[in-house]
Amino acid sequence: MDDDRQHNERSTLAADAREHLKFFQELGIELVAPSPSNAATPAPPGQNLTTTEEKTTPYAGASTTRITSPTTIANALFDHREVPKVLQLSNETFEAIQADIGDCMRCPLHQRRTQVVHTEGDRRARLMFIGEAPGADEDLLGRPFVGRAGQLLTKIIEAIGFRREEVLIGNINRCRPPGNRPPTIEEANVCRPFLLREIAIVQPQAIVVLGNTALHNLINTKIGITKLRGHFQNYNGIPVMPTYHPAYLLRDPSKKRETWEDLKKVRDYLESNNPGNAD
């Protein structure tokens, strides 16, 4: 009986490993541990990297410097210039923000929603993911990213070495737009301030914006995700990586490799700035 049980356990583990390997291959993941010799090294003092200033009108206190060549993430992120963290640490609580939102009727989206879908995860997270708005599954369950796109996002999070419960996941809008259309400018303007208040509480070390709606509403740029993905942006001193929304990856799996390249940069940046790695 013990032999049968051990055989079944080994078969289950092997099946799980094959499933994960298939997913990693779809993402173009390199299943090789990074060599310490390849770690980022500081650039000489005063070295300049090419940057491009985007002509946008940022929200109060936000910077929209586009980093066009982040070859070594930790060192190149802000062009070797000191960027003050201007985002003031908030002493609010998530509970207070959710109470403020209440049974929200501030925009027309409330008319057809099932429930408000709040930000979820570790409120001390180093990494935050921001999407567009809830879909049908999220509207039904009251949790962000729990449908097919959410399941893919969970796998991506795990692929860069985190568990879903270790990160923070939210959306620009908390109510489902009809037919899963993007939120209008007016709808986003109503809901976005609550998300920004949560960011001020958590102060994550990095943010990943998923798709154009999240990108445009956090960084306030009109440049599309295809041009900015893979390049760190700056939200009040917090590095922001734009990448494709998981729902888009389901429609076009060929973009999974590019998404993996984007997320590797985030992973490398967080590893290089992990206090636990200090000598």
In angstroms, the CA 223 to CA 181 distance is 20
Residue 147: phi, psi to the nearest 5? -85, -155
> What digits encode the pLDDT tens for the residues 104-146?
999 999 999 999 999 999 999 999 999 999 999 999 999 999 9
What pTM was computed for the model?
0.75
Of the candidates 7, 201, 181, 163, the one whose C-alpha atom is nearest the C-alpha of residue 108 is 181
**What angle do the packed helices 212-219 and 185-202 form, to 10 degrees?**
70
SS3 233: strand
Of the candidates 217, 112, 132, the one whose C-alpha atom is nearest the C-alpha of residue 174 is 132
CA atoms within 13 A on the CB side of 23: 17
Q: Which domains does the chain have, with CATH numbers?
A: 50-277 (3.40.470.10)
Query: What is the chain's length?
Result: 279
Q: How confident is the model over 50-65, as a mean pLDDT?
A: 35
> What digits encode the pLDDT tens for the residues 164-185?
999 999 999 999 999 999 999 9
Q: Quote the tokens at residue 104.
A: 């929200």
> What digits encode the pLDDT tens for the residues 224-264?
999 999 999 999 999 999 999 999 999 999 999 999 999 99
Q: Is the pLDDT of residue 52 over 60?
A: no
In angstroms, the CA 210 to CA 220 distance is 14
